[in-house]
Amino acid sequence: MTDPSAELTLDLARLLPLPRRFYRQPTVQVARGLLGQLLVHDELEGLTTGVIVETEAYLVGDPGSHAHHGRTARNAVMFARPGTIYIYRIYGVHWCLNLVTQPEGTPEAVLIRALEPVAGVDLMRQRRGVERPRDLCSGPGKLSQALGLTDAANWGDITSPPLFVAHWSRSLADHHLGPRIGLPPGQGDELPLRFGLTGSEYLSRRF
């Protein structure tokens, strides 16, 4: 689809963020619809972007969701308006990027699990300390490091710069469906809420 060994020049003026109404759709539909779209982070250090190739949905009543036991100071952002950015740390090390879906007050979100690097690849390599393109963004912690994402973006708005999702291209039907990754047994790990672009070499794990 792209050649990550070469820098792709993007015209930011032509990259239109997906509108807020996109995130008001059913969360599973949003998780599928994000596949093939472009995640863009435009900051002083440089522009980094990648095509979203893997996502996971988290729903109301879902034992794997941070909001399963109700509202807390940590998960309050999940109850915000659709299109709000939710970033949290796992294992005390890695940041994970989530996009809030559904109307305000309904705590659902989509985790961005993996990207195919498109632009800013050299900067991604510096941040990650690895060379192979497939190692740059093949996991939620990896992609956050590659794009320079931290909790500074928490409560931000994914429908406007500097961090946004822009329409790109790819058939919504061209995807795999499977159980989520990294959840404890019996905590929603068996639910088929993980989505990935068929044939992508940049997934965090094969389906």
Residue 134 reports pLDDT greater than 80: yes
Give pLDDT, residue 2.
Answer: 47
Residue 1 reports pLDDT greater than 50: no
User: In which band, very low, low, confident or very high, does the pLDDT at 181 lie, cut at 50, 70 and 90?
Assistant: confident
- Assign domain 12-197 to its CATH architecture: Roll (3.10)
Share of the chain above pLDDT 90, in %: 70
Highest mean pLDDT among 7-16, 92-101, 144-153: 144-153
Q: Would you say 116 and 36 are in contact if contact means Cβ atoms under 8 Å apart? A: no
pTM (whole model) above 0.85: yes
109 CB neighbour count, 10 Å cutoff: 29
Residue 73 reports pLDDT greater than 80: yes
- Rounded to 10 degrees, the C-alpha dihedral 33/35/38/43 comes to 100
Give pLDDT, residue 34.
Answer: 96
Give pLDDT, residue 170.
Answer: 58
Between CA 151 and CA 173 the distance in angstroms is 33
Give pLDDT, residue 8.
Answer: 60
Give pLDDT, residue 188.
Answer: 67
Q: Which residues, 6 or more positions from 176, have their beta carbon under 8 angstroms from its beta carbon? A: 195, 196, 197, 198, 207
Give pLDDT, residue 63.
Answer: 84
Residue 4 reports pLDDT greater than 90: no
Q: Which residues, 6 or more positions from 75, have their beta carbon under 8 angstroms from its beta carbon? A: 66, 67, 86, 107
Where are the domains positioned within the chain? Answer: 12-197
Between 48-62, 99-113, 128-142, 162-176, the lowest mean confidence (pLDDT) is in 162-176
Between CA 110 and CA 23 the distance in angstroms is 10
Residue 3 reports pLDDT greater than 50: no
Query: How many angstroms from the chain centroid is the CA of residue 158?
Result: 11
Q: Would you say 76 and 136 are in contact if contact means Cβ atoms under 8 Å apart? A: no
User: Phi, psi (5° rounding) for residue 55?
Assistant: -140, 165
Q: Which residues, 6 or more positions from 12, have their beta carbon under 8 angstroms from its beta carbon? A: 40, 42, 47, 161
Residue 185 reports pLDDT greater than 60: yes
